[in-house]
Structure 1
Amino acid sequence: MKPSISYLSQEEILYIHNQSLLMLREIGMKMPHKETLALLKSAGAEIVDNDIVKIPEKMVESALATVPKRNEVVLYARDPSQDVTFNKHEPGLACMTMAVNVMDPLTQEKRPATNEDLAVLTRMADQLENVTVNGGLVTPQEVPGAYNDWYTWATTIKNTTKHITGGMFGAKCVQDAAKMASIAVGGEAEFRKRPFISGWVLTLPPFGISTETLDSLVEMNKWNIPSIVSSGPILGTSSPITIAGTVAQAHAEILACIVISQLVNPGCPIIYTSFARGIDMKTGNISMACPEFGILKVAMSQMGRHFDLPVRMPSLLRDAKVMDAQAGFETGMIGTMGGMAADLLDSMQLDMDMVVDFADLVFCDDCMAGIKRATRELVVDTSTIAMDVMKNVGPGGNFLAQPHTFQNFRKELWLPGLLERRNWDLWEQDGAKDIYTVARERMLEMIQKTPENRLSPSAEKEIDTIVEQAQV
């Protein structure tokens, strides 16, 4: 049996879904985008006060009927061996995006992120086994702010062969990101066959979507680029203080995006996610690692899984400022909760997703390996019961030398690559290093490696030219 975690019963999932449908029908969504409004009106939605769209239940049902299900969705990679599928629940890490600061890998001081930082981090993520989706972990701060997304797409496309998720600021950004990706695979026709990028679609709680986001969503669907659709309300500020109410509101906002997507291009893939989060009422700060955040991730995952959709949830975005005991606790708590419920876990950021420590990538990768082991199916059959082996060993015997042990120990026992398990004396003889020191040493080795699978200089120049032309 495969382990699972849940906060909602089947009856509660259906009740929340029906309440979400009621919200869309009676409250509606603010959508200031002419093309979207015209599309929704022609499909049967009611438009009030110029840009408030009230969506009938039949439109939602129609969209849920055409949106691809888990076993139909592939997040393509430039390297086909890195494709991400959702036939089974096998959680993996996804690079969260848009942190603005880094801990300098050499000085360990916090400073604004640069485009070179992004390149190095992207190459690191490309090397890590448990990172299945790459992306712009940081947003370069030294480039023109209005074109951050263009620089991020150019840098990530040039430095990874994995699937990439990034920000999309309007239709023009989508078009240019698709052009850059097309260059990497030899042309637009090849890219359209295997679009190896996906874009964030973030609602504007409560019950809104910005003009730029709608522009991006519509354009991505025209290209058949997967949309990572998220509603991120904050308990008690942009949604009700209650978790159940927040889940219902977030689900409604995601459903609205699915309706638009399937009207533009029926069958275009959607990844269901939510940044619904808590708040610390003493400080007024958002929390990305409180228990409520974990509960919200599980409950929202249940809503997405109920409709058989691929699910991606932020789960390793710690409130901790540095890689300390707090970061370890938050990684273990929210990471395991997310790993039990979601397919992809947004990760590898600190300080409420504002800071990236290069060494944290190594730490999160090892933690993810442990989480994957904990969420794996427990197989019970003749081989795993091993009655014949027990008979052979008998009372007072030893299983260590048995072929069955040798054949199965790597499958049964997780062997960490980073965590310390030796006795005290050996650890002390090796320098008595804490986990941050070990992670940092491995990080320094990784960033010195010569990049592999780089694009040709001419292809990289073409990509850079698209960024330059966008600013003219």
Structure 2
Amino acid sequence: MTAAEAKRTARRRARRGGAGAGGGAEPNAHLRVPWITRRIPTYDLLDEESLVRIEQTADRILAEIGMEFREDAETVRLFREAGGEVRELSKDVWNIRFEPGMIREILRTAPSRFTQHARNPANSVEIGGDAVVFAPSYGSPFVMDLDRGRRYGTIEDFRNFVKLGQSSPWLHHSGGTICEPTDIPVNKRHLDMVYAHIRYSDRAFLGSITAPERAADSIEMCRILFGADFVDENCVIMGNFNTTSPLVLDGVTTAGIRTYAAAGQGSIHLPFLLGGAVSPLTMAGSVAQCLAESMTSCALTQLVRPGAPVVLASFQSTMSLRSGSPTFGTPEAALGSLVMGQLARRLNLPLRCAGNFTNSKLPDAQAMSQALMSMMSAVQCGANYILHSAGFLDGLLSMSYEKFVIDTDLCGALHAYMRGLDVSEDTLGFDALAELGPGQHLFSTAHTLRHYQTAYWDSALDDNQPWETWDEQGGSDMATRANKRWKKLLDEYEAPALDEGIDDGLKGFIAKRKEMMADAWY
């Protein structure tokens, strides 16, 4: 053990001893769960007539305009045999139209809820129904922090964010491409990313989707980790697939979808819609298009392997009509998320939607006001898998260390919020008032002493001290406190144990695959 490791171990033991010595439970420990079981109702925005009109418009899009498929004849064959009307537009480009109701019929074999297994069984997650799973943000080419500013992401940053996610009790899933490690060739970096999730976290994770062979590598690494027989029978990895809006599925995407589905693994099917650019400017039209694209993408999995786990998905963004720039955390997109929740429940499919979205370039008031608007729409709409729960900044172009820990703190508060309100003889607290009677404080009552550790959410970052105390201690703002916190978490991080034989097998597989490839940087 190195001197630094010894110091970290000593600090961890001291913290455990300190907490235990006083007999007090760790704050919020009662809220920590492998996923959230929601105990609050979803918010149903639209009436039956409006929902039917959106569904009928989605059907009309698929029947009269159709979806375009590129460079994947196998996918075209599957949809043709299922009843799709195929027209060849040019070499390796097809338009397929679907009779109303056809895609919904195909989706009947998709499960309404499924388990994604983690290497630590205690961290396996349920996706669907009343289960809610929080995962980090995904896909940013840049990273930023208050010390070094904005820069291209590296594999070190990627590992750091996996470690920060593992360190947070308020995230349930390790995520996927938390940031792009631009210091590794494009065709090889997926191996290092999947390995980082396996080595530095014991939670469920997403695999690569940028090429079918990278999807296959991700699944093969899971076979090394879990065993081939277990993977054949269980979902242990998912891929997050984007349609090419409007109304296009390219061959790389569809081949990747088929790869995950053939192995019985999960997939998320996400149109990335920018109103006025790749979807109608009005939100009802954008939602109808989102439904059409996501359903079609999901349906492909069921043609490959009926029963393969799928997640319907929605990424609604609006536009600054002055500049044409995407805008995030807006009320219109939040309303779109609420409607997608209703539509997903009517399809009986799990839903991925929204997250802590923002256009802000700093972890500031704009960042959190926009993020909260978006995140609450995901919570209220009934989303089951919420990617982008932590770290999203700069319109998804940057992953922020500070915002990551601010967001995870918010996720902790949402654990308490989604527990709902327990009304019982005990929680009504009559005895708290009756014990000492009118005009007496309740600090010492049995009811207060019984509940003081669990009654309220206790933030790790908020400052609730009097102004004078805050000022005497330096008057730090939230971003400054978050800067200190992520550094502390990384300093105290300890990797979960991984069997040496499995680790050696993964490293050998990665080395062999990399030897077969020349570096490609684009």
TM-score for the superposition, normalised by structure 2: 0.84
Pairwise CA distance, 1:7 = 2.9
| Secondary structure of the structure 2 residue equivalent to 1:298 | helix
Q: C-alpha deviations, 1:44-88, integer Å up to 9, x for none?
A: 111023511112234323223211013xx1122111111111466
* Match for residue 102 of structure 1 among 140, 143, 149: 143
Query: Which residue is 2:318 aligned to?
Result: 278
Q: Does residue 401 in structure 1 map to residue 444 in structure 2?
A: yes
Structure 1 CA distance for aligned equivalents of residues 99 and 135 of structure 2: 34
Residue of structure 2 aligned with 1:69, choices 112, 127, 134: 112
Instruction: Select 1:309's aligned residue among 346, 349, 359.
Output: 349
Q: CA deviation at 1:14?
A: 2.5
Is 1:49–2:88 an aligned residue pair? yes
**Quick one: which amino acid aligns to residue 63 of structure 2?**
R
- Residue type matched to 1:26 in 2? E
Instruction: Work out whether 1:10 is the aligned partner of 2:53.
Output: no
**Which secondary structure state, in structure 2, belongs to the residue aligned with residue 317 of structure 1?**
coil
The SS at the match of 2:481 is helix
For residues 238 and 207 of structure 2, what CA distance do their matches in structure 1 show? Answer: 7
Which deviates further from its counterpart, 456-465 or 113-122? Answer: 456-465
How far apart are 1:43 and its partner, in Å?
Answer: 1.4
On the 8 A contact 1:133/1:164 being kept in 2, the answer is yes
- The residue number in structure 1 matching 2:268 is 228
Alignment partner, residue 333 of structure 2: 293
The change in CA–CA distance for 1:399 and 1:306 in structure 2 (over 3 A counts) is farther
- Is 2:258 aligned against 1:218? yes
Distance 2:101 2:378 in 1: 32
In 1: Cα distance, 2:255 partner to 2:516 partner:
17
Aligned partner of 1:462 in structure 2 is 508
User: By how many angstroms is 1:176 displaced?
Assistant: 0.6
Contact 1:287–1:293, Cα closer than 8 Å, also in 2 = no
For residues 244 and 464 of structure 1, the distance between their equivalents in structure 2, rounded to whole angstroms, comes to 46
- Taking a change above 3 Å as real, the CA distance of residues 470 and 404 of structure 1, as seen in their structure-2 partners, is farther
CA contact (8 A) 1:91 1:372 kept: no
Q: Residue 367 of structure 1: CA displacement?
A: 1.0
Q: CA deviation at 1:102?
A: 1.1
Residue in structure 1 matching 2:240, options 200, 205, 226: 200
Give the SS at the match of 2:205: strand
Per the alignment, in what secondary structure is the counterpart of residue 277 of structure 1? Answer: strand
Between the aligned partners of 2:488 and 2:184, the Cα distance in structure 1 is: 28
Q: Return the alpha-carbon distance in structure 2 between the equivalents of residues 225 and 90 of structure 1.
A: 19
Q: Which amino acid aligns with 1:175?
A: A
Deviations 1:10-55 (A, max 9, x none): 3322321122122212221111221111111111111023511112
Structure 2 unaligned segments of length 5 or more: list them. Answer: 1-38
Q: What secondary structure is seen at the aligned counterpart in 1 of 2:135? A: strand
> Equivalents in 2 of 1:314, 1:466: separation in Å?
38
What SS class does the counterpart of residue 396 from structure 2 fall into?
coil
Separation in 2 of the partners of 1:392 and 1:79?
46
In structure 1, give the amino acid aligned to 2:216.
Q
1:336 equivalenced with 2:382 (yes/no) = no
Q: Indicate the larger mover: 456-465 or 94-103.
A: 456-465
Paired residues of 2:59 and 2:101 also in contact (CA < 8 A):
no
Q: Shift in Å at residue 227 of structure 1? A: 0.4
Give the SS at the match of 1:274.
strand
Distance of aligned partners of 1:48 and 1:244 in 2 relative to their CA distance in 1, 3 Å threshold: same
- Counterpart pick for 2:79 among 32, 40, 44: 40
Aligned to 1:416: 459
Answer whether contact 1:92 1:368 (CA < 8 A) is retained.
no
Identity %, equivalent residues: 23
Helix, strand or coil at the partner of 1:312: strand
Query: Following the alignment from structure 2 to structure 1, what is the Cα–Cα distance between the partners of residues 482 and 379?
Result: 22
CA–CA separation in structure 1 for the residues paired with 2:384 and 2:308: 19
Could you tell me how far apart the structure 1 residues matched to 2:130 and 2:474 are? Answer: 39
Residue 444 of structure 1, CA deviation: 0.8
1:353-412 deviation line (CA, Å, top 9, x unaligned): 111122222111101112332333223343333445444454334433332333334443
Q: What residue identity is the alignment partner of 1:365?
A: T
Residues 24 and 191 of structure 1: is their aligned pair in 2 closer, same or farther, counting only changes over 3 Å?
same
> SS where residue 302 of structure 1 aligns?
helix
Q: Match for residue 179 of structure 1?
A: 220
Aligned partner of residue 380 in structure 2, secondary structure: helix
Change (3 A) 1:108 1:271: same
Distance 1:179 1:264 in 2: 19
Is 1:114 matched up with 2:157? no
1:453 aligned partner, one-letter code:
P
Partners of 1:406 and 1:101 lie apart in 2 by: 48
Q: Is there any run of 5+ residues in structure 1 with no aligned partner, and where? A: none
d(CA) in 2 for partners of 1:11 and 1:110? 48
Residue 90 (structure 1) shift: 5.2
On the 8 A contact 1:239/1:249 being kept in 2, the answer is yes
Alignment match, 1:471: 517
* Alignment deviations for residues 290-330 of structure 1 (CA, whole Å, 9 cap, x no partner): 22222222222222133232222232132111111111212
Instruction: State the distance in 2 between where 1:139 and 1:210 align.
Output: 22
Match of 1:430 in 2: 473
* Most deviating of 345-354 and 329-338: 329-338
Q: How far apart in 2 are the matches of 1:468 and 1:109?
A: 32
Q: Which of 170, 175, 178 is the aligned partner of 1:137?
A: 178
Q: C-alpha displacement at 1:118, in angstroms?
A: 0.6
Task: Tell me how large the CA RMSD over aligned residues is.
Answer: 2.2
